[in-house]
Amino acid sequence: MNVTVEIERRGEQPKPEWVCPSCHQPARMRDVRANLSVCPHCDHHLRIGARERIRQLVDEGTFRELWGNLTTLDPLGFTDIETYPERVREAQAKTGLSEAIVTGTASIDGTPCLLAVMDFSFMGGSMGSVVGEKLWRASELASGEDLPLVAVCTSGGARMQEGILSLMQMAKTSCAVDVINEATSPFVAVLVDPCTGGVVASFATLADVCIAEPGARLYFSGPRVIQQTTREALPEGFSTAERNLELGHLDAVVARKDLRVKVGNYLRLLGGGEEPDRGDGQGPRARGKGRLAQAALDRARTLATYARRPFVGGDRPPADQAEEPPARETPS
Q: Which is nearer to Zn ion, 35 or 71 (CB)?
A: 35
Q: Which is nearer to Zn ion, 39 or 209 (CB)?
A: 39
Show contacts of 243-252: CB within 8 Å, 24+ apart. 244/212, 244/218, 245/212, 249/205, 249/210, 249/218, 250/191, 250/210, 250/211, 250/212, 250/218, 251/209, 251/210, 251/211, 252/209, 252/211, 252/212
Instruction: Map residues 26-65 to x or -, x wherever contact with Zn ion holds by CB under 5 A.
Output: -------------x-xx-x---------------------
Pairing of strands 252-253, 26-27: unpaired
Residue ranges with strand state E in the chain: 18-19, 26-27, 64-66, 71-72, 101-108, 111-118, 149-155, 187-196, 209-212, 218-219, 252-253, 312-313
Burial class (CB in 10 A: 0-12, 13-18, 19+), 22: middle
Cβ 242 to Zn ion, closest distance in Å? 17
Among 23, 29, 34, 295, binds Zn ion (CB under 5 A): 23
Contact region for Zn ion (CB under 5 A) — 12-20, 84-92, 164-172, 301-309?
12-20
Q: Which is nearer to Zn ion, 20 or 57 (CB)?
A: 20
Cβ 31 to Zn ion, closest distance in Å? 12
Q: Which of residues 72-131 bind Zn ion (CB under 5 A)?
A: none
Cβ 40 to Zn ion, closest distance in Å? 8
DSSP single-letter state for residue 157:
S
Cβ 22 to Zn ion, closest distance in Å? 5
20 lines the binding site for Zn ion (CB under 5 A): yes
- Give me the amino acid identity at 175: C
Cβ 42 to Zn ion, closest distance in Å? 3
Cβ 44 to Zn ion, closest distance in Å? 4
22 lines the binding site for Zn ion (CB under 5 A): yes
Q: Which is nearer to Zn ion, 28 or 41 (CB)?
A: 41
CA separation for the pair 191, 159 (Å, rounded): 19
Binding site for Zn ion (CB under 5 A): 20, 22-23, 39, 41-42, 44
